[in-house]
Chain A
Amino acid sequence: MSIPAGAIPVSAIPVGSIDDLTPGEGRAYVVDGKQVAVFLLADGTVRAMDAVCPHKGGPLADGQIDGSVVMCPLHQYTFSLDTGACPSGIDSVRTYPAAVVDGKVTIQV
């Protein structure tokens, strides 16, 4: 989601450099008191969502992703990277708008 810098809402908070991320490997940040898991996709865009799996509290940042879902490492529940919905029918997770601006990952919580 590369958006021109001017289009980023003021509430977008930079969390770190894009160089700290590796495609497919998640990383957790604390953003405004919330734990947020951030993923760099193969297409270079980023996604952000709550870092805690609603099922048993698994660390979603340790999960594997493809272009559309993240899979929790504990019990393999999947959640949409875009909407946070879980097709297996348990609670969804919150997702947050994320973008890369000037080499920085920003999250809007």
Chain B
Amino acid sequence: MNGAPRTRLLVVGNGMAGARTVEEILKRGAEKFDVTMIGDEPYGNYNRIMLSHVLAGESGVDDEDLLLNPMSWYRENGVTLFAGDRAIALDRFAKSVRCESGRIVDYDVLIIATGSNTFFPNMDGLREPDGRLARGVFGFRTIADTNGMLQMAASQDDLRAVVIGGGLLGLEAAYGLRTQGLDVDVVHSPGHLMNQQLDERGGRLLRNKIESLGVGVHTSKRTTSVLRDESGRVAGVGFNDDTSLPADMIVVTAGIRPSVEFARGGGLVIERGIVVDDQLRCEDEGSIYAVGECCQHRGEVYGLVAPLWEQAVVLAEHLSGANPSAAYHGSRLTTKLKVAGVDVAAMGVKGPEREDDEFVQFYEPRSGTYKSVVVRDGKLIGATLLGDISKANFLTQAFDEKVPLPDERISMLFDMGTPTAATGAAELADDVQVCNCNGVTKGAIVACVHAGAKSMGDVTAATRAGKGCGSCKGLVADILACAAGGALEADPAADWYVPSIPLSKPALIDVIRERGLRSVSQVFTELATDGSEDVPSKMPLASLLRTIWGPDWVDERGALFINDRVHANIQRDGTFSVVPQMKGGVTTPGQLRKIADVADKYNVPLVKVTGGQRIDLLGIKKEDLPKVWGDLDMPSGFAYGKSMRTVKTCVGSDFCRFGLGDSTALGIALEDRFQGLETPAKLKLAVAGCPRNCSEALCKDFGVVSVGEDKWEIYVGGAAGAHIRKGDLLATVVGAGEVLRVAGIFIQHYRESAQWLERTYAWVPRIGLEVLQRTLIEDAEGIVEGLEQRMQTSVDGYRDPWQDRVEQKSPAQFTPSLPLLPLPQVPVR
């Protein structure tokens, strides 16, 4: 500390531009600033590019890949973040900003990074009388938009969606919704798809690809109205030619508009965006800057991520004083991406504009390949690649005038005895940006390899390259290969079950069985690379040994996570939660009395009904656990383990007037059979007595739905947590006994082949529904009998862990871990 007062830096907007700018500023002079950020979304900063993957079910909103700056980042960097609040008024003279919550924040320097909003064209019926969007109408820009679409997609079958706008975002939305099982049409008012990047030919080719995915494409059609049915629900869209399409869901991706209301209210100069100079300074202002999609620089407003990184660096250089004369001169746009599964790269102009422009074109509809380049005065001024983008890196460099053009222009489109992709990577200039999502240059990757990185995993961990949309992974791998020379290691660890043992899960199971390894320490000694223990490997190994050996594994206390040592779930304050078994969610007055007595006796601070139809006693001290179990005298509900959790049921045919099958009895039978089984990740089951699905069986790891006449539909791989996925119909079977049998082989197969912590919603699509049906239902590989036997052994080995109260496993099993200072308590309700 040199005593100099810190500059109060306020950033309005917590998106990719705002957060990146702060990162760049902190890198150059964290000690000079007190940073405050205001963001209207209730999260840290996330990667919007990834939302396409989330919608397509390829990753979840809870994936760490999605978050660029988690909440901990702000804390660790001393940045004050007001998330979920909106800046509404700017007072340039008092130098303060007022928020929706009434909060007033003063600043010395203000950066506006409000990004942009979805543009909703004027259409009849788009909005409710109060101005809100009609139910079923979505933009595609935020986590909330994406979750809204996923929830609607999961809520009912046979949904029809119309996507208005056939640009990049629209096609991503259509692809994602198609993957979620919706009928999708794309409506685009220009004459061909992605008209901003592609010429007509390229657009036509892309159209073929999109149509082959089962998506309807309608070009030269302008949407004029949202149609409603008698009850006011969205029913379709109407066009300027008086035709219409039916729709339950409407996604509007007809462009974005810079979000400038806040800046305009403060009296800043606005044209299309907030007008800024080469230092990103707002007009007539000494201390207000704007960065990202909300700003307009030299007449340009950008909507891609690369320019935003360049702006962030210039602004940080300028504000931190690292280079006060840093200047932004605009960005040349090159796009390389995968849209709806098709590779696209585009830069500069789409076609010849002058008489003497050279234009080289290749078009092959059969393979779906289109390539073109435009050359003027010996310089590349435009290129388009579709389907095969292997020349994109070369063309990017040529476009940036970093390499001369070959005389034989056609060799810009094909490798004709010219360098291969790998040498292409070698020839890339160091300052070429490779990962656009995270702004990583080739130089940064090479430096990381020189610092010791040997695999893709190492590079990604150190630079985040490849952690955004993933489209650059091939190039990163090429650069890695070149830079490492012969020292390259492919990332073999990707298939290993645990990081310290170089074996895939099936191979590891074989070796463990063959050598009869029954304790985790034995496994480390015999199989770990250096023979020593490794903390992150312990829990997965303990789970695997229990899966293989059942009760005959050698229980080593140190191998178990605390939850598995004390059979309860550790809470934020170090106390535990106790959930007794309540099969199928069915209880009795006697049980409820016991639970109430225990809650009184131990002053349980919170008694809560769980999402899995059980009762949770929270805030139990570790030393009280055996006494609580004894007083309850009920078996463990396994609410703490990576194991079979609950079977949620509806009332079923005994009482419900709609019930077709006895869901309660089947639920209890399932829980009876599979109670306490360890699984790679938690496993949730449900049984519904009719397709009304009150027990939510369609979004469980294993869900069963009665369809009458003792027939049951079995759905697998569903989820409704942070990630939402409707289960896939594995089979329709007759009789409760057959449900139990199929459940057994499905769960055992999952136990033996899924990666550690891989939920069924990831495992089922990874293996493929058809493969599972062939393997488990048709028994095409003859493994079913073995699965059934091993499952039976596990079932026979079940023992209620709460009997540990009789004989403790170790002297310290139930000793308190923080005896003196009370930790922050969870508030008592």
Give B519 Cβ to nearest chain A Cβ, in Å.
Answer: 11
Residues of B within 8 A of A58 (CB): 574
The answer for the CA separation of A22 and B815 in the assembled complex, in Å, is: 13
Give A20 Cβ to nearest chain B Cβ, in Å.
Answer: 5
A25-54 vs B, Cβ < 8 Å mask (1 yes, 0 no):
111101000010100001000000001100
A59-89 vs B, Cβ < 8 Å mask (1 yes, 0 no):
1111111110111011000100000000001
Whether A22 lies near B557 (C-beta < 8 A) is yes
Residues of B within 8 A of A52 (CB): 818, 821, 823
For A42, A65, A78, which residue has the most chain B Cβ atoms within 10 angstroms? A42
Residues of A within 8 A of B813 (CB): 25
- Interface flag for B572 (CB, 8 Å): yes
The answer for the CA separation of A27 and B622 in the assembled complex, in Å, is: 12
The answer for the CA separation of A51 and B819 in the assembled complex, in Å, is: 10
Q: In the complex where A35-B821, A78-B535 touch, is A64 in contact with B558 (Cβ < 8 A)?
A: yes
Set B76, B535, B565, B811: member contacting A19, Cβ < 8 A: B811
Residues of B within 8 A of A26 (CB): 812, 817
Whether B811 lies near A20 (C-beta < 8 A) is yes
The answer for the CA separation of A89 and B535 in the assembled complex, in Å, is: 18
Q: How many A-B residue pairs have CB under 8 A?
A: 95
Interface of A (DSSP majority class): mixed
The answer for the CA separation of A64 and B820 in the assembled complex, in Å, is: 21
Q: In the complex where A22-B558, A73-B561 touch, is A61 in contact with B533 (Cβ < 8 A)?
A: no
The answer for the CA separation of A62 and B573 in the assembled complex, in Å, is: 12
Give B13 Cβ to nearest chain A Cβ, in Å.
Answer: 27
Whether B812 lies near A23 (C-beta < 8 A) is no
Give B64 Cβ to nearest chain A Cβ, in Å.
Answer: 12
Interface of B (DSSP majority class): loop
Whether A42 lies near B521 (C-beta < 8 A) is yes
Residues of A in contact, count (CB < 8 Å): 36
Q: In the complex where A25-B810, A37-B817, A73-B561 touch, is A66 in contact with B574 (Cβ < 8 A)?
A: no
Whether B812 lies near A66 (C-beta < 8 A) is no
- Interface flag for A14 (CB, 8 Å): no
The answer for the CA separation of A23 and B573 in the assembled complex, in Å, is: 25
Query: In B790-829, which residues have CB < 8 Å from any A CB?
Result: 810-813, 815-821, 823-824
Residues of B within 8 A of A27 (CB): 812, 815, 817
- Interface flag for B88 (CB, 8 Å): no
The answer for the CA separation of A58 and B536 in the assembled complex, in Å, is: 18
Whether B562 lies near A62 (C-beta < 8 A) is yes
| Nearest opposing residue in chain A for B811, CB measure | A20
Whether A28 lies near B815 (C-beta < 8 A) is yes
- Interface flag for B442 (CB, 8 Å): no
- Interface flag for A57 (CB, 8 Å): yes
- Interface flag for B570 (CB, 8 Å): yes
Residues of A within 8 A of B818 (CB): 28, 35, 51-52, 59, 61
Whether B538 lies near A64 (C-beta < 8 A) is yes
The answer for the CA separation of A41 and B776 in the assembled complex, in Å, is: 44
Q: In the complex where A22-B811, A24-B556 touch, is A66 in contact with B532 (Cβ < 8 A)?
A: yes
- Interface flag for B559 (CB, 8 Å): yes
| Nearest opposing residue in chain B for A70, CB measure | B535
Give B41 Cβ to nearest chain A Cβ, in Å.
Answer: 23
Q: Which 9 A-B pairs have the closest CB atoms?
A: A24-B558, A59-B817, A66-B533, A61-B817, A22-B810, A62-B562, A25-B557, A27-B812, A59-B574
**What are 30 A-B interface contacts by the 8 Å CB criterion?**
A21-B811, A22-B558, A22-B810, A23-B556, A23-B558, A25-B557, A25-B810, A27-B817, A28-B818, A28-B819, A30-B819, A35-B819, A35-B820, A52-B818, A52-B821, A59-B574, A59-B817, A60-B817, A61-B817, A62-B570, A62-B574, A64-B535, A65-B535, A65-B558, A66-B534, A66-B535, A67-B532, A71-B535, A71-B536, A89-B76
